[in-house]
Amino acid sequence: MGRAFVYVILGGGVAAGYAALEFARRGGYSRGELCIISEEAVAPYERPALSKGYLLPEGAARLPGFHTCVGAGDELLTTKWYKEQGIELVLGTRVISADVRRKTLLTGTGETISYKTLIIATGARALKLQEFGIQGSDASNICYLRNIDDADKLVNVMKSCPGGNAVVIGGGYIGMECAAALVTNKIRVTMVFPEKHCMGRLFTVKNAEYYENYYTSKGVTFVKGTVLTSFEKDTSGKVTAVILKDSRHLPADMVVVGIGIRANTSLFEGQLVMSMENGGIKVNGQLQTSDSSVYAVGDVAAFPIKLFDGDIRRLEHVDSARRTARHAVASILEPSKTRDIDYLPFFYSRVFTLSWQFYGDNVGEVVHFGDFTGSNPRFGAYWVNKGRIAGAYLEGGSRDEYEAISVAVRRKAKVTNMAELERQGLSFAIQE
Ligand code: FDA
Ligand code: NAD
């Protein structure tokens, strides 16, 4: 049993949706020549909605409202759209092995799908507590959040314990965004993470302090610098408490876990060159892997960032998934006209009424600026490396202000005097 396509997109997440739109816009295929194979049962959607709009107590986002590519203000690609465009959606189908030499993929249903060109868009999976030696983390009231099934479980568990206690494990993006959503749903939240402050991969201590104080004012309790060791359960197997390394018991009606991800590379290990440092599939500026018929995009791809002198990075953010996907399709369809990708890393988050954006790289000396007080703050930070702006962060900015900091990073604006940069703050970027 088998099918043959010219182009196969493996994975049906954010990158797949944006790749499909780019194929359709460029028209470089005939009906039936292009397919998306996805383990998920639905067409590609904007994954960021799962920790934001999807968890709202009222007027929550639901499909088909947030299929790609609405997150970038573009068309809503429903299953009807794919049909009209002649793009086959092979949904609810897991690929269990890949043979790059033969250009074939084997699905869990025993079908062999062949391709001439493959785009790997398999994204990443959430790390599980059992990978850290914690037993019993498959209980019915422990939630992870990567896909729509996880989000549905989280919503159901949340609704089953109104006014109850949630323990959030992890102080990264999932932890921060889910804690805010839980509070909005009137659940009491305790956050537990091993670092000294939240968002350790990006935030400075001063930035983190602002958010931690804000969360505390919303009733969130922080338990920092420790990890959980086990769970207490009732006779039905539901978690009733989280037990910490220092023997403390935290009562819990539900647990949300966000302890990082691993890129889904396993199908291609030993067949394509990997980036060991970044844990992804290594690609060049055309998003092409070590096999010229295979491209990789989104969370799974480790690609060169021109702005960082060609340093290879694997980014775990939606803007990068969208742009690498579109760039790969351009490279495939018009290789001679497509230059190497020149990407400016961009991360953002929205929690409660707060909202921040970050551009570039958080390396070098930090200079903070702005007003860190109140519930409508406007503050930020610059990272200065070798006398130039390497990264910039802004909370509560306007569209023009975000644009200004992004341009300062893109231009690697020269900094001659750190004290003067601190004094000028946001004006430095605006005047640039
Ligand atoms: P993505 O994970 O979207 O898709 C991978 C797809 O491949 C899935 O459909 C999966 O089922 C499929 N797949 C994997 N292996 C397969 C196999 N063997 N066979 C078949 N199918 C397979 N970023 C940001 O910048 N701002 C934000 O606010 C957020 N918010 C956010 C919230 C939540 C809850 C999550 C989980 C993530 C975010 N992100 C984010 C990160 C962002 O969503 C992420 O970077 C992109 O979804 C990555 O897109 P990809 O297409 O690479 O992977
Ligand atoms: P993360 O890397 O942001 O944070 C992981 C956190 O896990 C760390 O901050 C640490 O506190 C904690 N941790 C690690 N090991 C632990 C352990 N043994 N016990 C307890 N805590 C531990 O990852 P995440 O928050 O799980 O997010 C998953 C993915 O989703 C990331 O790729 C992220 O970029 C993406 N995401 C992004 C956004 C956004 O950009 N706004 C929002 C949600 C999710």
145 pLDDT tier (thresholds 50, 70, 90): very high
pLDDT attached to residue 374: 73
Residues with Cβ within 8 Å of residue 173, at least 6 apart in sequence: 51, 199, 258, 349
One-character DSSP codes across 332-391: HH-GGGPPPP----EEEEEETTEEEEEEE---SEEEEEEE--SSS-EEEEEEEETTEEEE
DSSP state of 48: G
Q: Write down the pLDDT at residue 362.
A: 97
Main-chain dihedrals φ then ψ at residue 110, nearest 5 degrees: 90, 10
Distance 68 CA to ligand 2 centre (A): 23
**In this predicted structure, what is the pLDDT of residue 136?**
86
pLDDT digits (tens, 9 = 90+) for 28-52: 899 999 999 999 999 999 999 999 9
State if residue 324 touches ligand 1 by the CB under 6 angstroms criterion. Answer: no
Ligand 1 atom nearest the C-alpha of 12 is 9
Q: How confident is the model at residue 4 (pLDDT cuts 50, 70, 90)?
A: very high
pLDDT for residue 406 is more than 80 = yes
The CA distance from 231 to 212, in Å, is: 25
Q: In DSSP terms, which residues pair with 61 in a beta bridge?
A: none
Give the pLDDT confidence score for residue 372 in this predicted structure. Answer: 87
CB atoms within 10 A of CB 201: 12
Looking at residues 111-132, what average pLDDT do you find?
Answer: 98
pLDDT recorded at residue 316: 98
Q: Which DSSP string do the residues of 130-170 spell out, in sequence order?
A: GGGT-TTTT-TTEE--SSHHHHHHHHHHHHHSTT-EEEEE-
**pLDDT 10s digits, 156-175:** 999 999 999 999 999 999 99
Pocket residue to mutate for ligand 1, from 150, 299, 358, most atoms within 8 A of Cβ = 299
CA dist 83 and 96 (Å) reads 26
Position in ligand 1 atom list of the atom nearest CA 267:
18
Q: Is residue 206 scored above 90 in pLDDT?
A: yes
pLDDT number for residue 411? 98
Please determine, for residue 107, whether its predicted confidence score (pLDDT) is greater than 90: yes
CA 95-96-98 angle, to 5 degrees, is: 80
Closest atom of ligand 1 to CA, residue 319: 25
pLDDT bucket at 137, cuts 50 / 70 / 90: confident
pLDDT band at 18 (very low <50, low <70, confident <90, very high): very high
Mean pLDDT of the chain: 97
Q: Which two tokens stand for residue 85?
A: 């465009």
Question: DSSP of 71-92, one letter per residue?
Answer: GGT-----HHHHHHTTEEEE-S
Q: Find out whether the beta carbon of 175 lies less than 6 Å from any atom of ligand 1.
A: no
Model pLDDT for residues 213-268, shown as the tens digit of each residue: 999 999 999 999 999 999 999 999 999 999 999 899 999 999 999 999 999 999 99
Among left, alpha and beta (phi > 0; psi -120 to 50; other), residue 35 is beta
The residue whose C-alpha atom lies closest to atom 53 belonging to ligand 1 is: 123
Residue type, 321: A
* Cα separation, 118 vs 265, whole angstroms: 14
Which ligand is located closest to the Cα atom of residue 55?
A: 1
pLDDT mean over 310-314: 98
pLDDT at residue 128 tops 80: yes
Q: Assess whether pLDDT exceeds 90 at residue 399.
A: yes
Extract the runs of DSSP E, i.e. beta strands, from 6-131.
7-10, 34-37, 87-90, 95-99, 104-107, 112-114, 117-120, 124-126
Residues whose CB is less than 8 angstroms from the CB of residue 371 and which lie 6 or more positions away in sequence, other chains included: 377, 378, 379
> Are 69 and 15 in contact, with CB atoms under 8 Å apart?
no
- Mean pLDDT in residue range 319-326: 98
Average pLDDT score over residue span 122-133: 96
* pLDDT at residue 431 greater than cutoff 90: no
Atom of ligand 1 nearest to the CA of 125: 2
Q: How far apart are CA 234 and CA 354, in angstroms?
A: 38
Confidence band of 204 (pLDDT split at 50, 70, 90): very high
C-alpha span between 4 and 114 (Å, rounded) = 5
CA distance 56 to 17: 24
How much distance in Å is there from the Cα of 429 to the middle of ligand 1?
Answer: 32
Is there an atom of ligand 2 within 6 Å of 316 CB? Answer: yes
- Is the pLDDT at 331 greater than 90, yes or no? yes
Q: Is the CB of 170 under 6 A from ligand 2?
A: yes
pLDDT at residue number 169: 98
What does the pLDDT read at residue 28?
A: 85
Query: Which atom of ligand 2 is found nearest the CA of 200?
Result: 9
Residue 102 and residue 296: Cα distance in Å, rounded?
Answer: 18
Atom of ligand 1 nearest to the CA of 320: 45
State the pLDDT at residue 1: 73
| 55-80 pLDDT, tens digit each | 999 999 999 999 999 999 999 999 99
367-394 residue pLDDT tens:
999 988 877 899 999 999 999 999 999 9
Give the Cα separation of 18 and 77 in Å (integer).
Answer: 9
Mutate to test the pocket of ligand 1, among 45, 47, 266, 351 (most ligand atoms within 8 A of CB): 47
pTM for the model: 0.98
Which pLDDT score is estimated for 432? 72
**Residue 287 in contact with ligand 1 by CB distance below 6 A:** no
What is the 8-class DSSP label of residue 272?
Answer: B
DSSP 409: H
